[in-house]
Structures are given as C-alpha cells and as structure tokens.
Amino acid sequence: MKVVLVDDERIALDHMRTLIPWEDIGYEIAAAATNGRSALRLCEEHRPQIMVVDIRMPVMDGLELIQAVAERGWGVKFIVMSAYEDFNYARQAISLGCVSSYLVKHEVDREKLVRELAKAKHAWELDERQRQLARSEQLKEAFLRGGRASREPFGRPPLCALFLQADAPFAPIPTAAEPQDAGGTIGWTEACRQMAEQSGWARIGEFSHGAGRLVALFEQHDRGAPLQRDAFRAFASALQRKLCDLHSRTISLYYAFECADGAHLPEAMRKAEYAARHAVFAGRGALACADDLPLPSAATAMDVHGRSRWLDESASCLKQDDFVGFETAVTKLFDDLARPVWDLPGLYEAVGALSVLYRDRLAAAGLPEADPLDPRVAGPLYDAAAIRERLIQAFGALREQGTAALRRLSPKLLQALRFLHAHFQDDIGIEDVAQASGISVRYVHDLFKRELCRTFLDYLTEYRVKQAKLILMREDAKMTEVSARVGYRSPQHFSQVFKRLTGMLPHQFRAEERAR
C-alpha cells in the first residue's frame, strides 16, 4: 500500500521515515513533499492510498491539499499531523470525510502510527470496494451502451481492456445462447487483483459478461512512460496460467489498448470482445492483442462467390470420386476463411454446407443420419484447423465404406433427397418433392419404397426427428421453437412423434444426453 509523506520540515519527514519499518508491515513510501502543491503533483503521479499530511505548510497548506485531492476523486485516506493549537483548523479537514485520523505531532509514537495506518488502510479498502462496484457498473454501462463515452470516468491512458473467456467447443449452429460448459468466473476477479498488484498495471474494474466471460480494465501505473505492451502481455500470461490452474481448464485472453483518449475506452472493450467471438480462429488457450488480429471491419467485403466456388468444387470432386481434389478444395476453402481476415460467417456457412453434403452422401449410401462433427465420436473441436481435419476425415471414412454404395441411389432420388433436406422445416409434402424433382408423385413414392425401403412420410419424419435431436443436444431452445424449426406447428404433435420414434419425450432426451 503506497504512502506519501507531506511536511514542510525535513527533520519531521526523516523522523517519519525511520519511526516504523514501513515495508516490513506492508507499506511503501512512494514519495515525500515539503508543500501541498508538490504533494498534489506527486499524488497524481503515484496515486497513493494513504497520505500523512501536516496542516500548516507554505505554498498550499494541508487543508487545501486535502480539498484538492478529494475533488479529484482519487480516494486517498489522510492522516493529519499537527500541533495542539491547530485542532480547530484540522477539524475542517476531518469534516471533508476523507481524513482517517488526526494526530498531535509530539504525541505520535511507533505503536500509534502503526495503529492509525491500519485504520486508514481499512477505511481505504472499504471505500475501494464501493468504488470498484461503481466503476464496474460504469464499465458495463459503457460497454453495453456503445458509442463514445460522454466523459472520462475510467482513468487516463494508457488503458487496456481485457476480455477473459473460458474455452468452449465450436458449435456448428451459431447461437446467442451461452455455451453449455462455459462455467463460472469464481476467483477470476480476485486473481486479477492479486496479479495486477505485482505488475506495472493497476486494475480499475471488471464485470461479468455471461457464463465464463469477464471484462476487466487496467491502467498503466507510469502514465508518462511509453505503452508497456510487453509488461501487460507478461501480466496477462501469468494471469492466464493462474486461472487455468485454478479451474483445470483452458481460458483465452484477448486485450486491446487505448492510448489516446479514455472516452474511447468502450471501443477498446468491444474490440477485445469481438476478438473473443472469433476464438475458433485463434485456437484454444489464446493470448492475443485484438489490435494485432486479422479481424474484419464493418466495411470488409467477404468473398461470398469464392466460398461458393470452393464448395461447389468440393462437391464435384466427391461426385467424380476424386478425394485428393476434395481434400485440396476443402483445405483451400479453410485457408481463405482465415486470410486476409477471419471470416466467421463464412466458416459457419462452409461447415453447414459440408455437413449437408456429408448427410447427402450418407443418404445416398443408405447409411443412417450422422453429424460429421459429432463431439461424441471423436471429442470436441476448438479451432478451425481441427474442424477442417475432422471434416476431411469424416468424408474419407465414408468413402472407405464403399464407393459402390454411394452410387446405389438413382439421380432422381438424390435430387428428391436434396430438396427434402433443404426444406424439411417447411410444410412440405410428397407433391412438393415431386414438382422439384420433375417427376410424378407416384414415381417419388415408388423410389422411396424401392431404394430406401420406407415411405416418403416415414423418411421425412425420421429426418425431422434427427434434426430435432441435434438442436436438443446443442441448444437450450424451448420446445415450441424446436418443433417449429423442424416443421411441426404443434409442439404436442412434435412430442408425440418424437416419443414414437425414440421411446422418450424431447425433454427427456435432452436431459439424458447432457447427463452423459
């Protein structure tokens, strides 16, 4: 805890320095001054928690100093030192509310000073908790409100916004819901406080931003020095190791600096949060400065046609049984999604399209429905490279099951299945599939019976239930939403169909899957 000594008599200052073993009992004499004006400058530079101040001084006396510091809201606690005849004068200082105690100079001994310092420290800690809560609320409001802050309540640059996020597996379906295994942030705030005390950065405040996420703000101790990027990274790295050990899981940290104007701080906070949204590109256990990442801006034009071209090429290679070409096309597609900027919507689109292509191949082979990224098969996925490899492996394994089986279905049935898979959530019937395929309803019926050994309605129902299972396993969506998303207007009807095919109700299936 930092202390600044202020007295116009140098003998008195030397006496205070030697009266007690300051560092041994947890205090650091950050500076000393012989008048209030110098003390005010030192207070702004060092931001002490306690100041021991004489009342009568030249240039700026103790009362004026206390008033000036109080007006700036620095939260300093004062121990006032004076003589008997100055008590009425000192009482004015006490009325300001930031004076912890008043001591008569010639009565101060070692025990009394230690006791009064402890009293001031306790008072500062109580006030600091309240200030932390207030600052955290201001931070959260600025972050959620967006735009430029109307004033500068968060300290002076250099500032750094830090976004901490527990790593969660990639979910192929983007959702605003919290990751199921994100966990809490118990101990994160205390770890930030402890680690910051050992670095060149001071913690200003923090707030929770959903399950397993925390936004924290820090200011550089030495604001007159150049930006200490390396020092902050070293602090963030040590904090990351401490949190990972604390929770026995990986946690990623993203940060952004604000060096010019504290009013722009909300932009830095949102930049760090935006980087965390692209965690699938950064990888598990990332420690990265958002300013250095290839994040897309609002003006970035994504190559939608390029994505479509690589996806079409992938499908064409599979159709020609050119697996080397398929692997090359998928690798190129994922490389383009990461350069020159991270294309998160494109990644979701690519995963969705390749998953549909995979299911089409399964259906063509007469194999049961499956998700190529099912975490229960080979574990969860955390980064784009692992997703790419898993997709390539899934298609490779399917190919090994027999090219002949993939070619067993007729082109017209494959066309019908593609339409069904794309529109299963709509109110479709066999007539719609027949029209889309350019054949008669009777012929569609015969194709399903002859080649898939089931009726059109049976296949459609099974497919809808399989899609419902995926939603139930990945999301916390309500049953009305689940039923609507798989083509059922009535949740009750959906529940009856689901139970008939699976032997359990949808909510029972979800509970059983999450208990595994």
- Per-residue pLDDT tens for 208-267? 888 889 999 888 877 778 888 998 999 999 999 999 888 788 999 999 998 887 778 888
| pLDDT at residue number 293 | 96
Q: Is the torsion defined by CA of 148, 152, 154, 158 positive or negative?
A: positive
Confidence of residue 174 (pLDDT cuts 50, 70, 90): low
Question: 299: Cβ–Cβ under 8 A, 6 or more apart, which residues?
Answer: none
| Residue 352, token pair as written in the block | 């969705």
DSSP character string of 9-59: -HHHHHHHHHHS-TGGGT-EEEEEESSHHHHHHHHHHH--SEEEEESS-SS
| pLDDT at residue number 155 | 67
Calculated CA dihedral for residues 334, 338, 341, 345, nearest 10 degrees:
50
Peptide bond into 340 cis (omega under 30): yes
- CATH 3.40.50.2300 is the classification of domain 2-127: yes
Question: 255: Cβ–Cβ under 8 A, 6 or more apart, which residues?
Answer: 160, 161, 162, 163, 232, 236, 272, 288, 289, 290
Confidence of residue 505 (pLDDT cuts 50, 70, 90): very high
Are the C-beta atoms of 213 and 182 separated by less than 8 Å? yes
Task: Please state which architecture CATH assigns to domain 146-292.
Answer: 2-Layer Sandwich (3.30)
Are the C-beta atoms of 102 and 82 separated by less than 8 Å? yes
pTM for the complete prediction?
A: 0.64
Using the predicted structure, report yes or no on whether residue 147 has a pLDDT greater than 50. no
| pLDDT at residue number 149 | 46
Using the predicted structure, report yes or no on whether residue 131 has a pLDDT greater than 60. yes
The whole-angstrom separation of Cα 478 and Cα 481 is 5
Average confidence score pLDDT of the chain? 85
Using the predicted structure, report yes or no on whether residue 285 has a pLDDT greater than 90. yes
| pLDDT at residue number 177 | 47
Q: Where in the chain is CATH 3.40.50.2300?
A: 2-127
Residue 161 CA neighbour count, 13 Å, CB half? 29
Residue 504's φ and ψ, nearest 5 degrees, are -150, 160
The whole-angstrom separation of Cα 30 and Cα 485 is 64
| Residue 245, token pair as written in the block | 């050990």
| pLDDT at residue number 392 | 94
Question: 273: Cβ–Cβ under 8 A, 6 or more apart, which residues?
Answer: 143, 163, 209, 215, 254
SS (H, E, C) 305-319: HHHHHHHHHHHHHHH
Lowest mean pLDDT across 63-72, 218-227, 418-427:
218-227
% residues pLDDT > 90 (the chain): 45
